Amino acid sequence: MPELQQQQTQTTDQSRTPARQQGQDADPRARNAQAEYARGLAGTPAQRARAAIKGAGLPLDHMIPESAKAFEQKPDGSFTLQLAGDVRHKIGDVTLVLTSNISGKLGAGTLSNVSGIYGEKKVAFITGKGNVKTVNRAGDELVITTDHSMAKEIRLKVADVQAVG
């Protein structure tokens, strides 16, 4: 019977050990993953934003100006980017406008939940403007969805996007 009490006491003592001590093997891995992620975001805000966009497989990294003020990305891919001012890039008959505050979520070949980017397309004397909602890479094209009723989907050749300077 004394052996049983001693065994119960040991079990009880272990259950009182803080979780971080019991799971010491898990915590270092989580810390290492976070440190590795943070190392990937080294450099200026523009360099970090470009690396994140390029890492997602989107050919939009060169559109981020060196004058970017801030970039923050969370491990789940959500990000915020602050630019010094609006930046315009003409790609064929479409102009993409990056505003001073951009946010969204980067994933493999996709940019979703976008805020702060809009597209303009001039037809005759009228300019249509739509907020970009998603950007998806589909082979050699970028498929951009907007909230504009006349331009729900814009398709751009990756080569044309990469040629923009």
**88 is written with which tokens?**
């315009």
Give the CA diameter of the chain. 94
Domain layout of the chain by residue ranges = 2-35, 40-163
Task: Give, in words, the CATH class of 40-163.
Answer: mainly beta
Q: What is the per-residue pLDDT for 163?
A: 82
Binned at pLDDT 50, 70 and 90, residue 28 comes out as low
Predicted TM-score of the model (pTM): 0.70
Region 7-34: what's the mean pLDDT?
A: 46
